[in-house]
């Protein structure tokens, strides 16, 4: 298979071909015990559902976390950025999963048609756009698909070796469902090692269309924890790949990585218990104040931009 230099670089350095680590067969259960042992003492007043965004909001400001936890965020409505983002992910799903090769524009159109059929909020937004506005969004998707194709080897031709899966939903129910962890991984590559089930064989990748943020590394550690709880074996590596540049931030997964992610979940559950019990949140101002529903009444909020 002939590859461009960026494609070869991704194959050799990010996906890699070296020896994969082997993890103990009781790793998943030890992680479950670690989280449940701490969370059980909290006696959560109601079932708690945590994803990466909740963990990140707590790290930014406990007040922002409390607002989300108590359902104060306004109902979600698509903007041009969110619509383009969800369409890009659907288009990459089409690119990876199509039986035959499609050009990027055909991929974008197919993705828009599928989303319109299956997601009501996107369908409402899409139908309200004029044809020129739809074309503008589609062209942005074409650009992102082109960047994806130039960054990865042709995954459609490597299905047997890599078993690519897009938009993989992963959920772990703990404490009998009182604590649920969930997330959706943009791209997972690799097949289980049938001869040695404890050997890590998967790569988890989040695809990013903007610049780097500190929480991206934490997001990927959370995904590594989720995949371990769901599959019993962690991925050997997690990464955020930036489509504009083809560069990535990657981290090999170890038990220490998973313990760190588990402790972050425990800290978030403790904060949720405190907030739901009426404790005043600790306030930390920052750029996130502009998206907080409490910004106009919070004594610590940074001024909103004009």
pLDDT digits (tens, 9 = 90+) for 153-164: 999 999 999 999
Residue 292 lies in a domain: no
Contact 252, 239 (CB under 8 A): no
**What average pLDDT does range 135-150 have in this prediction?**
97
Question: Exposure of 45 by Cβ count < 10 A (0-12 exposed, 13-18 middle, 19+ buried)?
Answer: exposed
Q: Has residue 165 got a pLDDT over 50?
A: yes
Among the listed residues 47, 119, 45, 10, the one whose alpha carbon sits nearest the alpha carbon of residue 279: 45
Q: How many domains does the chain have?
A: 2
Contact 151, 96 (CB under 8 A): no
Residues 183, 270: one domain? yes
Residues 173, 62: one domain? yes
* 41-93 confidence digits (pLDDT tens): 998 889 999 999 999 999 999 999 999 999 999 999 999 999 999 999 999 99
Residue 4 lies in a domain: no
Residues 62, 203: one domain? yes
Residues 52, 170: one domain? yes
Three-state secondary structure along 215-248?
HHHHHHHHHHHHHHHHHCCCCCEEEEEECCCCEE
Q: Has residue 272 got a pLDDT over 50?
A: yes
Q: Has residue 136 got a pLDDT over 70?
A: yes
Neighbours of 125 (CB within 10 A): 20
Residue 304: band (very low, low, confident or very high) from pLDDT cuts 50, 70, 90: low
CA atoms of 166 and 88, how far apart (whole Å): 12
Q: Has residue 148 got a pLDDT over 80?
A: yes
In this prediction, residue 101 carries a pLDDT of: 86
The torsion angle over the Cα atoms of residues 65, 68, 70 and 75, rounded to 10 degrees, is 170
Tokens of 18: 């070296």
**What average pLDDT does range 174-192 have in this prediction?**
96
Q: Has residue 217 got a pLDDT over 90?
A: yes
Among the listed residues 117, 113, 235, 81, the one whose alpha carbon sits nearest the alpha carbon of residue 165: 235
Residues 182, 64: one domain? yes
- What is the enclosing helix (H) or strand (E) of 251? strand 247-252
Comparing 137 with 302, the larger pLDDT belongs to: 137
CA atoms of 112 and 125, how far apart (whole Å): 11
CA atoms of 84 and 96, how far apart (whole Å): 18
Domain region containing 136: 80-156
Final residue belonging to a domain, choices 98, 123, 156:
156
- Phi, psi at 153, each rounded to 5°: -60, 160
Residues 145, 193: one domain? no
Residues 150, 172: one domain? no
Buried-state track 65-76, b at ≥16 Cβ within 10 A, e below 16: bbbebeeeeeee
Q: Has residue 305 got a pLDDT over 90?
A: no
**What average pLDDT does range 12-19 have in this prediction?**
92
Q: Has residue 268 got a pLDDT over 90?
A: yes
In this prediction, residue 41 carries a pLDDT of: 92
Q: What percent of the chain has pLDDT over 90?
A: 88
Residues 184, 270: one domain? yes
35 contact partners, CB below 8 Å, separation of at least 6: 174, 179, 262, 265, 266
Final residue belonging to a domain, choices 141, 156, 171:
156
* 196-215 confidence digits (pLDDT tens): 999 999 999 999 988 888 89
Residues 147, 264: one domain? no
- What is the enclosing helix (H) or strand (E) of 115? helix 104-118
Work out the mean pLDDT of the chain and round it to a whole number: 94
Residues 66, 84: one domain? no
Residue 283 lies in a domain: no
Total residues found in the chain within this entry: 306
Residue 1 lies in a domain: no
Residue 222 lies in a domain: yes
* 282-297 confidence digits (pLDDT tens): 999 998 998 899 999 9
Residue 64 lies in a domain: yes
In this prediction, residue 306 carries a pLDDT of: 46
């Amino acid at each position: 298979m002939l590859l461009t230099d960026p494609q070869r670089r991704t194959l050799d350095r990010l996906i890699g071909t070296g020896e994969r680590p082997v993890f103990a067969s009781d790793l998943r259960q030890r992680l479950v015990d670690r989280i449940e042992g701490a969370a059980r003492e909290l006696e959560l007043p109601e079932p708690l559902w945590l994803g990466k965004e909740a963990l990140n909001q707590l790290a930014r400001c406990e007040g922002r976390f409390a607002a989300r936890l108590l359902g104060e965020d306004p109902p979600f409505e698509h903007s041009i950025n969110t619509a383009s983002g969800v369409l890009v992910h659907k288009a990459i799903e089409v690119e990876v999963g199509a039986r035959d090769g499609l050009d990027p524009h055909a991929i974008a159109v197919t993705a828009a048609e599928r989303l319109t059929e299956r997601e009501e909020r996107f369908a409402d937004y899409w139908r309200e756009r004029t044809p020129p506005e739809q074309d503008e969004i589609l062209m942005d998707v074409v650009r992102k698909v082109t960047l994806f194709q130039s960054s990865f080897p042709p995954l459609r031709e490597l299905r047997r070796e890599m078993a690519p899966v897009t938009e993989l939903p992963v959920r772990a129910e703990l404490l009998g469902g009182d604590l649920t962890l969930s997330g959706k991984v943009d791209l997972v590559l690799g097949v289980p090692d049938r001869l040695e089930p404890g050997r890590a064989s998967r790569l988890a990748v989040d695809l990013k269309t903007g610049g780097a943020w500190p929480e991206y590394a934490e997001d990927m550690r959370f995904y590594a924890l989720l995949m371990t709880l769901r599959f019993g074996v962690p991925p050997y590596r997690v990464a955020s790949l930036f489509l504009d540049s083809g560069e990535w931030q990657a981290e090999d997964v170890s038990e220490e990585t998973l313990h760190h992610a588990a402790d972050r979940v425990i800290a978030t559950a403790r904060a949720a218990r405190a907030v739901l019990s009426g404790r005043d949140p600790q306030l930390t101002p920052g750029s996130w104040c502009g998206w907080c529903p409490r910004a106009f009444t919070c004594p610590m909020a940074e001024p909103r931009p004009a």
